[in-house]
């Protein structure tokens, strides 16, 4: 295949090898899907590039894109990069304060948005930005120029040779994009990635799946995140048909319609998919319910390489024919791979998806590493449950004396934009990038992540606690939506828990327990006792100092919009600690719940 030195060299594949494709990209419009052919892709990108040149955009000009997943994201991505400008993709769901900071820090001159909702999020900030020369929207927004004006400028652009001159001047080591980290603590930092960073990562990742131009991918995680963006380039490298879903709310329907061969998800999405399967199983009549959960137990025991013997393989075959085949059908019936990243997925879920012939490839990386450092692969010995697989080809990894994971390679960022002092903190004199994650190597080849270095804390008794490990374990419960473990400088570990109210409501119906509202539910002793039973069950597998001694239930919905979650659905611990400071103090001052007394019945 043609060599790739700059990201926009991917366009040559569409010009030379995939020109026949009529469904290179697709997005939902109303009740049907709208397809874009390879020819549409090439023509639109070049037309946009000419239009951007007409606007006077120079090499190095920063263009912010605040866009939902859509083919237009690719159009602007390639058009911006092939004229030497810098794309700065920004989450559509961050706070006004963070928009203000990023626009100013990155010296943004042009902004591309998707719709009116995004415009409402940034319009109060715009008067404070003297550098802004243009704001354009994909959908029609009153008072905002439409992106088709750029296309019109491009069609009338005369000097077509300038684009080729611009492209020829761009090198693999040139800055391609600045991606601002989600900022779970403090200000977001602008990660500078060049063309080689991304290309090295998606070419190494391309060795794992055997996809062809006849396969379909569904993309619903934000393209502004490095994880989905790298995969988006990988899909284009294979010439796959990429279907874009604008929000998580639409994903279930779109999976059934598109019947993808692959999609990427964060663990919470897979947890919800699994919990829905389990919920359906609980609603089955007696003997069928027993058989359903027998099949689930077989899935949880799955090991690679037929290690459990022929009899187990036979039981798993039965489970697949009668139960897991229905799961596959619910996910479109064609899944060959699911990619999971951004946080760890519990091994029990990884096992059961593999057992159900929907292999989950867990990976690990950061925005600063473009992103993949290690990942499962499909070769014999290429994966081990409880780990994030083997180190990606081209990446070098070592574990520091304090357990921190260090890596170097062509995937490591150029540095943080405008923050050389922060760059020096994470990239040492020998070129090792310090990830801030704690891990170990198992069997000499598999990387296991044990926690975030900065999120580990000590109790007042001096015991180290890794909160993510505990949280991951308890989130297996269908009764728990989110949990934050706490206890720094305290005598023991406690937790704030947001129940899964959808599951709680169904449980209350079965148990004839009144469910009036979220606020009343978290004070209902029957519900509290039931969640206490879940906490007690999971505590059995935890060390003495890790056990949750107390917890409080939260009625609030935790989300990106309300601030408790980062755009990648990680807990923003500092924010949560500040928001619930009084409740946390009361939790440690007050006695435990009297679970045996049912005052509400």
For the chain, the structural domain boundaries read 7-170, 457-589
Element (H, E) at 287: helix 286-300
pLDDT for 185: 52
In DSSP terms, which residues pair with 29 in a beta bridge? 32
pLDDT for 594: 41
Asked whether the domain spanning 457-589 has the same topology as the one spanning 7-170, the reply is no
- What does the pLDDT average to over 38-67? 97
pLDDT for 186: 65
pLDDT digits (tens, 9 = 90+) for 411-442: 999 999 999 999 999 999 999 999 999 999 99
pLDDT for 307: 73
Q: Sign of dihedral through CA atoms 253, 259, 265, 268?
A: positive
pLDDT at residue 600 is higher than 50: no
CA distance 119 to 103: 14
- 473 pLDDT band, cuts 50/70/90, is confident
For the domain covering 457-589, report its CATH number.
3.30.300.30
Residue written as tokens 């180290």?
464
Q: What would you report as the CA-atom Rg of the chain, rounded to the nearest whole angstrom?
A: 25
Cis geometry, peptide bond prior to residue 360 (ω within 30 degrees of 0) = no
- What does the pLDDT average to over 385-409? 95
pLDDT digits (tens, 9 = 90+) for 1-18: 678 999 999 999 999 999
Q: Which of 344-348, 410-414, 449-453 has the lowest mean pLDDT?
A: 449-453
Q: Residue length, the chain?
A: 601
pLDDT at residue 569 is higher than 80: no
pLDDT for 139: 96
- 592 pLDDT band, cuts 50/70/90, is low
pLDDT for 341: 85
pLDDT for 601: 33
Q: Considering the domain delimited by 7-170, tell me its CATH architecture.
A: 3-Layer(aba) Sandwich (3.40)
- 233 pLDDT band, cuts 50/70/90, is very high
Between residues 159 and 585, the one the model is more confident about: 585
Buried b (16+ CB within 10 A) or exposed e, 286-305: eeeeebbeebbebbeebeee
**Residue from 240, 286, 291, 290 nearest 262 by CA:** 240
Q: What is the pTM of this model?
A: 0.85
A 10 A CB-CB count for 41 gives: 23
């Amino acid at each position: 295949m043609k060599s790739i030195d700059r990201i926009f060299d991917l366009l040559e594949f569409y010009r030379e090898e995939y020109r026949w494709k009529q469904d290179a990209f697709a997005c939902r419009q109303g009740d049907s899907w709208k397809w874009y052919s390879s020819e549409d892709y090439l023509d639109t990108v070049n037309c946009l590039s000419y239009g951007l040149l007409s606007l006077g955009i120079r090499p190095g000009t920063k263009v912010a894109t605040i866009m939902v997943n859509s083919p237009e994201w690719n159009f602007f991505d390639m058009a911006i990069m092939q004229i030497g400008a810098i794309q700065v993709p920004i989450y559509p769901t961050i706070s006004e304060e963070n928009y203000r900071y990023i626009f100013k820090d990155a010296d943004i001159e042009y902004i591309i948005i998707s719709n009116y909702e995004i415009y409402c999020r940034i319009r109060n900030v715009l008067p404070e930005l003297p550098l802004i020369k243009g704001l354009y929207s994909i959908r029609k927004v009153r008072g905002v120029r439409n992106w088709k004006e750029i296309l019109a400028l491009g069609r009338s652009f005369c000097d077509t040779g300038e684009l080729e001159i611009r492209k020829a001047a761009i090198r693999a080591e040139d800055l391609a994009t600045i991606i601002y980290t989600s900022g779970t603590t403090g200000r977001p930092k602008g990660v500078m990635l060049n063309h080689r960073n991304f290309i090295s990562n998606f070419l190494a990742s391309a060795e794992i799946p055997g996809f062809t131009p006849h396969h379909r991918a569904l993309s619903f995680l934000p393209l502004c995140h490095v994880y989905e963006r790298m995969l988006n380039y990988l899909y284009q490298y294979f010439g796959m048909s990429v279907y874009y879903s604008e929000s998580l709310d639409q994903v279930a329907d779109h999976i059934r319609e598109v019947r993808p061969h692959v999609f990427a998800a964060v663990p919470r999405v897979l947890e919800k998919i699994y919990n829905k399967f389990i919920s359906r199983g609980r609603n089955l009549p007696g003997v069928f319910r027993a058989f359903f959960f027998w099949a689930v137990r077989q899935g949880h025991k799955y090991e690679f390489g037929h290690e459990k013997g022929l009899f187990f393989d036979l039981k798993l075959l039965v489970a697949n024919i009668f139960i897991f085949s229905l799961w596959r059908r619910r996910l479109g019936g064609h899944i060959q791979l699911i990619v999971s990243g951004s946080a760890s997925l519990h091994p029990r879920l990884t096992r059961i998806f593999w057992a159900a012939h929907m292999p989950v490839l867990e990976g690990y990386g950061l925005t600063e590493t473009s992103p993949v450092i290690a990942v499962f692969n499909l070769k014999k010995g290429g994966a081990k449950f409880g780990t994030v697989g083997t180190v990606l080809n081209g990446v070098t990894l070592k574990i520091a004396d304090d357990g921190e994971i260090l890596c170097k390679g062509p995937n490591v960022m150029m540095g943080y934009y405008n923050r050389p002092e922060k760059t020096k903190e994470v990239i040492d004199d020998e070129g090792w990038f310090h990830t801030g994650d704690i891990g170990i190597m198992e069997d000499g080849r598999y990387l296991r992540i044990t926690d975030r270095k900065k999120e580990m804390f000590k109790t007042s008794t001096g015991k180290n606690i890794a909160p993510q490990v505990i949280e991951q374990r308890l989130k297996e419960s269908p009764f728990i939506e989110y949990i934050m473990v706490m206890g720094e400088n305290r005598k023991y570990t406690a937790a704030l828990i947001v129940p899964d109210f959808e599951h709680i409501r169904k449980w209350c119906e079965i148990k004839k327990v009144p469910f009036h509202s979220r606020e009343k539910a978290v004070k209902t002793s029957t519900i509290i006792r039931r969640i206490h039973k879940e906490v007690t069950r999971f505590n059995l597998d935890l060390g003495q100092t890790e056990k949750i001694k107390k917890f409080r239930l939260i009625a609030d919905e935790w989300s990106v919009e309300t601030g408790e979650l980062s755009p990648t659905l990680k807990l923003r611990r500092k924010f949560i600690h500040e928001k619930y400071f009084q409740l946390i103090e009361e939790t440690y001052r007050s006695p435990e719940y009297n679970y045996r007394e049912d005052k509400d019945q």
